[in-house]
Amino acid sequence: MPLLTPFSEKFMIQKLSSLEAKIGIKFKSSSLLQNAFIHRSYLNEHKDSKLPSNERLEFLGDSVLSLITSVYLFRNFPYLMEGDYTEIKSAIVKTDSLATSAKILELNEYLLLSKGETKSGGKTNRNILADCFEALIGAIFLDSSFEKAYQFVGQFLFKDRLNKLVKSKEYLSPKSRLQELIQAKYKTTPLYKVETETGPEHKRIFKIGVYFRGKKLGVGVAPSKKEAEEEAAKKAFENLRDL
């Protein structure tokens, strides 16, 4: 039974064979691979499609990616602490990182979108590309194995980038980086103070300053204390040369 239409199914299978060659994985189920590239907008214009959108595969791929990242960090960086694992994991699986890998693999070339979504730049949309990358992980996991998905992620997401991320400590939040820097040099920590708190109870806005030795290094304004502190720490790096 044709999954899209007789023509489009044949065309998609031929087109996706180039992707299989690129990633070194031959799918047993061509429909599973096709499914990874069907955006929900496409179905609005193709009601007769036998395949659903890639949202369920993306959900599965997100979970598989989370486990792959945890296993990879556990195997390759045994000297790091659990808190480091959490920070690194958040940094490497964020939308920008996934979208970059999707662009490198040119996954946008295989995406099926509605005409409207395509015209509005859907094939370069970071969220759509990131979701597609996760959907592909889910498809590889279902069609092959966890190990095959692990190898794919290691090659096309982690390679070079993760080691660099760990070495440079870029995975640390601005607040963590600022504290580590000051603590290492001065054996003390910066102090955060709420300067103002405005707005109604359900929509508060916090203005927080970060201080070191009585000097204000930066100010952050955000709807939560945590966000305001991170913003203040980020601004503080601009003034570190004056320490």
Among residues 62, 84, 195, 227, which one is catalytic? 62
Q: For the residues 230-235, what does the mean pLDDT come to?
A: 89
Q: What is the pLDDT of residues 77-119, one digit of tens each?
A: 999 888 889 889 988 998 999 999 999 999 999 999 988 888 9
Q: Which two tokens stand for residue 163?
A: 């080691």
Active-site entry in 58, 131, 134, 230: 134
Q: Where in the chain is the domain with CATH 3.30.160.20?
A: 174-242
Which of these ranges, 119-123, 182-186, 235-239, has the smallest mean pLDDT?
A: 235-239
Confidence band, pLDDT 50/70/90 cuts, at residue 243: low
Residue-averaged pLDDT of the chain: 88
Which part of the chain has CATH 1.10.1520.10? 6-167
Is CATH 3.30.160.20 what the domain over 174-242 is classified as, yes or no?
yes
pLDDT tens-place string over residues 21-58 = 999 999 999 999 999 999 999 888 887 778 899 999 99
- Whether 134 is catalytic is yes
Cα angle, residue 42 at apex, residues 37 and 45 outer, rounded to 5°: 155
Residue 231, burial from CB neighbour count under 10 angstroms (0-12, 13-18, 19+): buried
Helices assigned H by DSSP within 6-125: 6-23, 30-35, 40-45, 55-76, 82-92, 95-104, 115-119
Look at domain 6-167 and name its CATH class.
Answer: mainly alpha
pTM: 0.73
What pLDDT is stored for residue 131 in this prediction?
96
Question: Quick check: 133 and 127 in contact, CB under 8 A?
Answer: no
